[in-house]
Chains A and B, each alone.
Chain A
Amino acid sequence: MNRLRRARPWLGTLVEIEAEAALDSAAVLAAINAAFAAIAAVHAAMSVQQPDSELSRLNAGAHRRALPVSAPLLQVLRTALDLAAASDGAFDPVVGGRLTALGLLPAAAFAAAPEASWRDLQIDDHGRVWFARPLRLDLGGIAKGYAVDEAVAVLRAAGMHAAQVNAGGDLRVFGAAPQRIALRDPRAPSRLAHAIELQDQALATSAPYHTAAAGLPSALIEPRSGQPYAGGDSLSVIAPSCLIADALTKVALFATPARRDALLERHDARLLILSADSH
């Protein structure tokens, strides 16, 4: 059995891939390289920071006319719209205008209305995307999870026996044995507060790290009001896919309890709340 672990900068964070197989180490390394290539492809298509990404081209022009999009981006956008509707906008891929206005995203060459929402995003019958007004899509709350899922699919197809893909804390594992994942302490993120066991599952976490401790407003923004998350809890979601786990952390932060619980149920997900003031 050969096991390798590699880390490279992608998706604005450090992506770590660990894989194990009853193959020689060259084959394991080739699988890891292919998985990184899948992540690089998601980065190239869905980065809001890169002006030449497919997403940035949509942001710059889809308010003028409907634009065709690649199958992966279409899949992520459809899921994002579905979750936005079901959460009544607690999760919203159109939050980019708000983030830009707050200085949390670099300014763009086009104007995006901060108050634009998922309701202004349309997908027509031909799978083309258009905006009812200038807006800025930001898939930061979902694309990392999608990239992790894509990398896992590549590793499985390459015959890996077990693996973990971790994109800055949004992760997914598979294999015959459970894997132990530690959750950071939201009060001091370089410390680990709890550990849980995962098997063939994904886990994503949202928490007001750094900002709350430093007395700064959180970078987690409620899309409807534009207000930062004021709580101190760390919210983790365990789900069958990392795409869903990633998006549901935002649902958990901002949705009404009824909508949150319905979405956890619908997606077979669990929510773990690390709370400093629960007792």
Chain B
Amino acid sequence: MSRSSRICLLPLAALAASAPAQATVYLSIEDAQRAMFGEQAMTARPLTLDAAQMKAIEQASGVPVRGSLLRAWRAADGGWFLLDAVIGKSELITYALGLDTQGRIKQVEVLEYRESHGGEIRYPGWRKQFVDKTVGNELRIGDDIDGISGATLSCEHVTDGIRRLVAAWALVLKPLG
């Protein structure tokens, strides 16, 4: 079959020759706090939720509460900075939620995005063993990848997590005054 010169067929090598996607760190906790609360003093106020609180948050948000630790910081103006992590199909996303004194969302920042390799075998020598194909302008995969295309990753777990944290604010943090 003749193909348009605008079409390039890239054969897939054996799966073992493909490289695991890497983790990305976007910003530190301190940088995220500064991004949301400026130069305000932030006081760590970690809380351990009891069983009743966890159940109430689940009911209010419709999202399961899997851990009892609420990683919270209080801003000088009374706002809250909450740190959380969610697990998706194959990814672990650490994110922070900034809430103002009324519990309104100021900002959401992803701190770190990590793709687990699941049961796939980590391939220590993959850089050496990966065959450099020379189709089109294709390059060898290395550490210097600037971006990844494909798989519209759902952020459903992050939006669920935000709903859970907002419920935790209303039920647990707001009553602290």
Q: How far is the CA of A153 from the CA of B75 in the complex (A)?
A: 35
| Interface residue range, chain B | 35 or more
- Cβ of A269 within 8 Å of any chain B Cβ, yes or no, is yes
Question: Does A183 lie within 8 Å of B149, measured CB to CB?
Answer: yes
Contact partner of A194 among B10, B89, B146, B162, CB < 8 A?
Answer: B10
CB contacts (< 8 Å) of B20 on chain A: these are 190-192
A107 within 8 A of B: no
A-B pairs with beta carbons under 8 Å apart, 16 shown: A6-B27, A7-B113, A14-B158, A168-B152, A169-B148, A181-B148, A184-B150, A185-B15, A190-B91, A191-B20, A191-B120, A192-B21, A264-B6, A270-B8, A273-B7, A278-B9
Within 8 Å CB of B12, what residues of A? Answer: 185-187, 193, 274-276
| Contact present for A184 and B148 (CB under 8 Å) | yes
Are the C-beta atoms of B137 and A196 separated by less than 8 Å? yes
Size of A's binding interface in residues, CB under 8 A:
60
Given A182-B149, A273-B9, 15 more A-B residue pairs with CB atoms under 8 Å apart are A6-B27, A9-B108, A13-B154, A14-B113, A18-B147, A173-B146, A179-B146, A190-B116, A192-B145, A192-B148, A194-B141, A195-B139, A197-B139, A272-B10, A276-B12
B152 touches A169 (CB 8 A): yes
B9 and A168 within 8 A (CB) = no
Q: Give the segment of A69-77, A86-94, A123-131, A202-210 that binds chain B.
A: A202-210
B16 and chain A: residue at smallest CB distance = A191
Report B-chain residues with C-beta under 8 Å of the C-beta of A38.
none
Contact between B18 and A193 (Cβ–Cβ < 8 Å)?
Answer: yes
Best-surrounded residue of A168, A173, A197 (most CB of chain B within 10 A) = A168
B4 touching A9, Cβ below 8 Å: no
In-complex Cβ contact of A204 among B6, B11, B149 (8 A)? B149
Is residue B76 contacting chain A, with contact meaning CB distance below 8 A? no
